[in-house]
Amino acid sequence: MSDLSNRDLEVLWHPCSQMRDYEQFEPVEIYKAKGSYLYTEDGSKILDAISSWWCKSLGHCHPHLQSALVEQSQKFEQVILANTTNAGVVRLCERMLNMANGHPSSTWDAQSSGLEDGHYQKVFFADGGSSAMEIAMKMAVHAQGQRGQTKRQKFMALKNGYHGETVATLAVGDCGLYGDPYRHLMFPVTMIDAIPYRSGPQDPKWMDCSAEWPAIEKQLNKEKDSLAAIVYEPILQGAGGMLVYSPDLIKRMRAWADANDVFLIADEIAAGMGRCGTMLAGHLAEVNADFSVLSKGLTSGVLPLSAVLTTNSIYECFLADYTELKAFMHSNTYTGNALAVAVANAALDVYASENIMQHVERMHPLMMKALESLVEQRNDLYNLRGIGMMAAVDIRQVSGEPYDWKFRTGYSVFQQAIKLGAWLRPLGDTMYLFPPLNVTDHELLEIIHILRKSLKVVLDRNRDTLYTD
Ligand SMILES: Cc1ncc(COP(=O)(O)O)c(C=O)c1O
């Protein structure tokens, strides 16, 4: 154990970790990061195959983002956003709205100016994903009440969904590991079952969930008079297992919600900003939500920033004489932080100037082909799925049964992969790739090569001793 690790363990409580693990598996000391690579103090480099918890969409230390940060820091860093404005924040709202409304990149690139027509017309800023999700949930319930639908106070959400770690976002999430200890603090939320999971856009039933819809509609109908909103991660459910589902579900939920006065809250925090091959994952369904929530890739993970995009019709539910007490009084200290906003503007410059979406389109088949060949070579990888610049596969016993979760198979593969040069932190026994969107062919194939070697070391060498098939 290095001296720094010893000191670390004395003072630092790491996120999402059993700290006892660190006694055997010390924290990796990072001294630099560039592009897709993390550089460690002992001289090795590690491919960041999960974009540092899914946020480094344009890789580490992108020079254009860094200069925007330095430039803004010389003007001002953080000024109260109530009763002030500045050119950067207004420009970011216009560009994000144009992007979310599906307009071409010429309307949101570095040269663009002004707001185009479109569904999303207003932006509310926060500093992290969970806080923005709570804002959208508060706005939904509040707007329902202010438009006279006071009984609409409940949420439904998708099974295996994840929306953050605050108590309210855990309530609309379905990841027991994170939420169970606090269940008694949460309000009840019905989880919609029978999600139409698919392997990806090449799946013959990609745009068709007619088989699953009747069961889903039945669940929705049961709560149709009390629902404020349905909360979902569009197309890609991240923390719940990197699961991909048919865009047709969103289309059908939109039609059902319109017919029943229910709002849709699309959590684009992981799936948006290009991850699914379109700037918003919701674009794949060709329908809009009432609230679209962005974070992570919005600043390419340089600084925390999140945004709730919504419509004029929601906004107008809050617009009245002050004495009617209809205002949305939510306040976060760092809402619209100027440094984060400058970086987000720079990130949009790069998405457009470096043709990031075209790059993802080119890389997706390369990634899937290499993973298909890996799955063909092994008999313990199941359920390969992928969309845009994300792909996932489940490790199981040869029989198809999951390994006992207590063996922590995925965690062993992760440890092995670090030794070989890739950061592949799994979700249980699900191994997934979520690299920077501008990852190169070589880097992507190297990640898959390291995954292949790590699986071999852990599963083939240990199968006889550790596991029973
Ligand atoms: C889909 C989704 N929603 C919400 C969050 C929470 O975001 P944050 O960690 O910034 O609070 C995450 C984080 O991983 C996420 O993936």
Statement to judge: residues 86 and 144 lie in one domain: yes
Residue 63 within any structural domain of the chain: no
Q: How far apart are CA 25 and CA 133, in angstroms?
A: 34
Same domain, 314 and 424: no
- For tokens 């819809």, the residue is 213
Tell me which of 50, 54, 162 to substitute to probe ligand 1's pocket, judged by most ligand atoms within 8 Å of the beta carbon: 162
Ligand 1 site-directed mutation target among 265, 276, 295, 390, most atoms within 8 Å of CB:
295
- Number of helices and strands in the chain (H, E): 16, 16
C-alpha–C-alpha distance, residues 50 and 45, integer Å = 15
Q: Are 274 and 437 spatial neighbours (Cβ–Cβ below 8 Å)?
A: yes
Packed helices 247-259 and 213-222: angle between N→C axes, nearest 10 degrees: 30
Within this chain, do residues 213 and 184 fall inside the same structural domain, yes or no?
Answer: yes
Instruction: Based on the fold, state whether residues 368 and 349 are members of the same structural domain.
Output: no
Domain co-membership, 89 together with 202:
yes
Q: Which burial class, exposed, middle or buried, applies to 387 when counting CB atoms under 10 A from its CB (0-12, 13-18, 19+)? A: buried
For residues 428 and 362, membership in a common domain is answered with yes
**Which one of 296, 300, 434 would you pick to mutate in the ligand 1 pocket, going by the greatest count of ligand atoms within 8 A of its CB?**
296
On whether residue 332 sits in a domain, the answer given is: yes
Q: What was the pLDDT predicted at 42? A: 86
Region of residue 198 (phi > 0: left; psi between -120 and 50: alpha; otherwise: beta): beta
CA-nearest residue for atom 9, ligand 1, is 129
List, chain by chain if needed, residues with CB within 6 Å of any ligand 1 atom. 128-130, 133, 162-164, 233, 238-239, 267, 269-270, 295
Q: Identify the CATH number of the domain in which residue 359 sits.
A: 3.90.1150.10
Q: Can you tell me which atom of ligand 1 is nearest the CA of 132?
A: 11
Helices 356-377 and 441-455 sit at what angle, rounded to 10 degrees?
20
Q: What is the mean pLDDT of each run of 10 residues along the chain (469 residues)?
A: 96 97 96 97 94 98 98 98 98 98 98 97 98 98 98 98 98 95 97 98 98 98 98 98 98 98 98 98 98 98 98 98 98 96 98 98 98 97 98 97 96 98 98 98 98 96 54
3 state SS of 390: strand
pLDDT at 465: 53
Look at residues 112, 127, 123, 116 and name the one whose alpha carbon lies nearest to residue 90.
123
Residue type, 48: D
Residue in 52, 235, 269 to alter for ligand 1 test, most ligand atoms within 8 A of Cβ? 269
Report the length, in residues, of the chain: 469
* Domain presence at residue 205: yes
pLDDT attached to residue 201:
98
- Which ligand 1 atom sits nearest the alpha carbon of residue 169? 4
Same domain, 362 and 217: no
On whether the CB atoms of residues 316 and 279 are closer than 8 A, the answer is no
Domains in the chain: how many in total?
A: 2
For residue 204, the enclosing domain spans 68-353
434 belongs to a structural domain: yes
Long-range CB pairs of 87-90, under 8 A, 24+ apart, other chains included: 88/338, 88/341, 88/342, 88/345, 89/125, 89/336, 89/338, 89/341
What spacing in Å lies between the alpha carbon of 459 and ligand 1's midpoint?
31
Residue with CA closest to ligand 1 atom 12 = 164
Say if residue 335 is in the same domain as residue 373: no
Residues 386, 360 share a domain: yes
Residue 330 lies in a domain: yes
191 lies in the same domain as 304: yes
- pLDDT of 461 reads 77
Q: Rounded to the nearest 5 degrees, what angle is found at the Cα of 400, between the Cα atoms of 418 and 456?
A: 30
Which of 308, 336, 353 is at the close of a domain? 353
Clarify whether residues 346 and 364 are in a common domain. no
SS3 sequence, 407-452?
A: HCHHHHHHHHHHHHCEECCCECCEEEECCCCCCCHHHHHHHHHHHH
What single DSSP character describes residue 190?
E
* Residue 131 alpha carbon, nearest atom of ligand 1: 11
Examine the fold and report which residue of 314, 337, 353 is the final residue of a domain before the chain moves on: 353
pLDDT score recorded for residue 191: 98
Residue nearest to atom 5 of ligand 1 (CA): 164
Instruction: Identify whether residues 420 and 306 lie together within a single domain.
Output: no
Domain end among 353, 383, 414:
353
